Structure 1
Amino acid sequence: MARQLTGKLPQSIDETRAMLEAQDYLAGTALATVLFLALRMKRPLFLEGEAGVGKTEIAKVLARALDRPLIRLQCYEGLDVASAVYEWNYPAQMLEIRLSEAAGTVDRQRVESDIFSERFLIRRPVLQAISTTAGRAPVFLIDELDRTDEAFEAFLLEVLSDFQVTIPELGTIKADEPPIVIITTNRTREIHDALKRRCLYHWVDYPKAAQELEIIRRKVPGCNAALSREIVAYVQRLRALDLFKNPGVAETIDWATALTELDALALDPETVADTLGTLLKYQDDIARIEGAEGRRLLAEVKAELLAQD
């Protein structure tokens, strides 16, 4: 399918779904609906779900489809204003002060005004997201918000309310047009209700078998149909187990790619055991599936697909 970059916001739910599909992102009606409403209502979209289900990819796809810049704030424990919003280029400021002193400049007020100007300002993701002009508002991805602490969450709440940041030395910088905000969380902790109330909400779940099969067809076109069916059926069964970390869609794609590179035509116990590192990322999970349980799962998959045929 041709990938059109129109830059225009979709005018219906069907257009929203088609826009995502043109970028090879398969969205259900519920996701297309809430995304369409978030764009129309100019509200942040809060996406929650397990790691690896495609939450971050939604923001990337949206930026490509709308031909907008993507600005990503990757959250982590200890994230502060200097890393997220702005900071001053202190080495450059000190050099400017020394050059002024060497030149004999004694007007401290002028020097101070000069060093606290735009050319010494380092814009971090939050400030970048609200510094664009009307008509070119970026897609602002706030990724894995649950990794930050409540203090930063409270600060972000203020930013999302007014889309402005106050820099004491420069004044208030306000967005000419609010960015398209996508917030993701893996639910390692609960996000405060006050922030959620400012957003539209959607739970992103693992795809159903038919949808995941179509994802492989689009993302790994070299994977033969029979192998693709076995891969999807196997992964779907893995997710029903009590694993430490279920494989996400990205891992399914990686596994399909790896098996295609190995010229595999079907799954067998040895091939599964040899390639589990592309699908599972914890040794306890791998050890469990390498044994009898993995062989049982594969036998069930083969029997299930044979019955369907």
Structure 2
Amino acid sequence: MKLNSKQLDAARSALLGEHSEQVIRYMAGQSVVIDSTLPTQQAQEIAQNCGWTLPKSEARTSLGFLVSDSCREYLFWQERHKALPFENGLPHLSDTLFEGKYVAEIGSGMGANLMSLSHRTGRVCGVEPVETYIQLGEIFCTREGISTLETRVGGAESLPFQDDELDLVLCVSAHQYFDIMPAFHEIARVLKRGGELVIIGGILSDYARHSVDYALNSEGPKAVAITLVNSLSYTAVGRRIIGNRNGFSTSRPVYPTSNAMIRWMHDAGLTQKTPFEKIGEETCFYAVLSG
């Protein structure tokens, strides 16, 4: 999905204009509870005029879901003082990890992590299959006075880089949405010898532990059941039994076991640099491409 010129102009006006802070908080609040502040009438009207929410019900449109995701990520980035979500969460996740390197983030979304990395690394590039997220990210960069960041439309299974081009590949809370096994081989292809991979995200034990809460409060029992079935089938036979809905990979995430993740990385030539470790509610895998 890509914003046309009219939609893009409307998004710029809404996210950069006089009531932009209210609009961002309102749209972020459509996907997660952020505080008890009631939305302003101006924010509601702007969202409706942009085609992000429906009149009366305030339900999000397809475009509204993408905008609310982006506003939520931007707001969280601001609230953590523009730091990476895993900032110094583990000893090897310090700034020195990125210094002077060509870093690519797979599943970069609206680019919050790219904005954090833009002054810490030699070169950073985002890879994102949903072009709308990239367009919205450019608006947020304008809002922050950051030069437009390098981003490329693409997926983890076919990365838009040359062989042996990258020093480090980063993936944060995104691996569950792509075809993980071929993605690891693609990552190995684009990394230089000795290049590094950092994946931070959920695994099966993480998801299963919270599955009851997800079923009751957010995803619903059917969605949780599908995710658990697909996670088990992908771990066992390398494919989702229940396919993606309407072609959107985000509709059918998978959370493999940690052992499966390590095995697939090893099959692609990626070796653990440190044992996998917990970072908050997620798990960090840190690997290097064997020379």
Larger RCO of the pair (alpha carbons < 8 Å, separation 6+):
1
Query: TM-score scaled by structure 2?
Result: 0.31
More helix by share: 1
Higher share in strand: 2
TM-score scaled by length of structure 1: 0.30
Quick check: which has more Rg, 1 or 2? Answer: 1
